[in-house]
Amino acid sequence: MLGGAVKGVVDIKRGVEAVPASISAPKKGKWWNEATSSWVYTDMSKIEVPDNDDDILGGIENDLDNNSSNGATGQVKETYYYDSLGVEPNADAHKIKRQYYLMARKFHPDKNPGDDAAAEKFKMAAEAYQVLSDPELRAKYDKGGREVLSGDKTSAADYDKPDPSLLLAFLFGSDRFNSYVGRLATSTSAMLGDTTKLSAEDARTLQERRCTRLALTLISRIEPWVDMNFKETEDIWKVQAEELKKASYGWELLRVIGLAYELAAAQFLGSSDSGLGLPSIGKWAKGKLAGTRMAGSKEKNKWETQTAKMDIVMIQSKYQKFIESATSNVEKLKLQREMETTAANVMMRMIWHTTSVDISRTIHETCQMVFFDQSVDKKTREMRAKAVKRLGRMFQECSPPPSAEGGKTDAKMLFEEAAMAATLETMKRKDESKQGASST
């Protein structure tokens, strides 16, 4: 009983200390960092960040490259897919994932426009990874080669198989977006072969460096606008947006970034923390929701139906029953392909949502550093927020490339709504984290 009483006193003391902090910290120029659950004071003029992360990642990468031979056992019938990825037949899963990442970045179409040889290597790397990353498929391939995986050799064009470049675009992103989103968390994971050797502390350090680099770049990008050179700066932004949308799924990524920029700016301009007292973030969110397909009950129901928490195992189980009851091989093959496509689409949705959340959170943290930078005066901080808000709007207003205007409207809706959901989730998590700190 005494222990409980002591704990109660401690909890009350913490609560008393936390509430004043939530009031006084913003007045001292601090912003709430959800990732570290702390109030942060930022002076960009005094921040230094290394050019690369070799001090953290170099050792792990070397270990992976030198100790990765406990995958397959015994002899394999052929080495075609292993050769396509440039790994030995006994390479473990971490090595295969890492090598796929390296090859995908090297031969990505965005890096090699018009290079048919690179495009073929890019395609083969994706195909090889699809087989070798699946333990069951890899075992079948090792035993019988490509022949046992070919089925009845019906043309892949007969069904809508997801484009491997989509997966790569989400996992690895495009180098064209590096100065806007940095290296995605999924990219770092893939680069390290999904190893567990990266500590949580080091992962947080990598994220802090990522946001710091992006903050410094963002300040440089918006500085001319802050200095009142509106038209000239916006013309430059427009040209940059037109180039960015040419990347693989660049237009969709632009919308995610633009939405995250607008959210961060609106949140700062409307927050009492900033001391500016402009329209509230609640009104902003309500307005944004009203302007999206999610506001329509018909589309919302469609979204909930198509993007509910579908478990891939459940999908496979459902289709398996139909496949087993099919009366012909043609029907079985058709159902098998439908199952694969449905499961792949669920995976794509999950990857896209994860990527959107990563980008939204990173941009939010980046913008806090830019907006609360105490090396400049209040008026400059306000102008920075307005500049970022304008940049975000321009990114969202960028017209889609010809290939995105027609067809696959469901995919476009998926990207847009997933981005909105991720952005609002970021806002919600930040507010909850901040409120939790004030009440504990």
Every domain of the chain and the residues it spans: 28-51+171-439, 67-165
User: What topology does CATH give the domain 67-165?
Assistant: Helix Hairpins (1.10.287)
Q: Which helix or strand (DSSP H or E) is residue 307 part of? A: none
* pLDDT category of residue 366 using cuts at 50, 70 and 90: very high
| Residue 126: partners with Cβ closer than 8 Å, 6 or more residues away | 100, 104, 164, 165, 167, 168
Under a CB-based contact definition with an 8 Å cutoff, are residues 106 and 146 in contact?
A: no
Q: Which of 140-149, 226-235, 266-275 has the highest mean pLDDT?
A: 226-235
Closest to 109 measured CA to CA, from 97, 118, 100, 98: 118
CA distances from 63 to 59, 66, 179, 185, 197 (A): 6, 5, 29, 20, 10
pLDDT digits (tens, 9 = 90+) for 216-226: 999 999 999 99
Q: What is the pLDDT of residue 117?
A: 92
CA distances from 137 to 79, 88, 130, 235, 351 (A): 14, 17, 9, 51, 22
CA distance linking residue 33 with residue 225, whole number of Å: 27
Q: What is the pLDDT of residue 330?
A: 74
Residue 356: pLDDT above 90? no
**Mean pLDDT across 184-211:** 90
Looking at the DSSP assignment, which residues form a beta bridge with residue 41?
Answer: 30
* pLDDT category of residue 157 using cuts at 50, 70 and 90: very low
Closest to 160 measured CA to CA, from 339, 307, 400, 304: 339
More confident residue, 438 or 243: 243
Looking at the DSSP assignment, which residues form a beta bridge with residue 38?
Answer: 33
3 state DSSP class of 33: strand
Question: What's at 210, amino acid-wise?
Answer: R
CA distance linking residue 186 with residue 193, whole number of Å: 10
Residue 384: pLDDT above 90? yes
**Mean pLDDT across 85-104:** 90
* pLDDT category of residue 45 using cuts at 50, 70 and 90: very high
Q: What value does the mean pLDDT of the chain take?
A: 76
At residue 401, φ and ψ (nearest 5 deg) are -65, 160
Lowest mean pLDDT among 23-32, 179-188, 416-425: 416-425
At residue 52, φ and ψ (nearest 5 deg) are -145, 180
Closest to 369 measured CA to CA, from 15, 30, 136, 6: 30
For the chain, the first-to-last Cα distance in angstroms comes to 21
Looking at the DSSP assignment, which residues form a beta bridge with residue 40?
Answer: 31
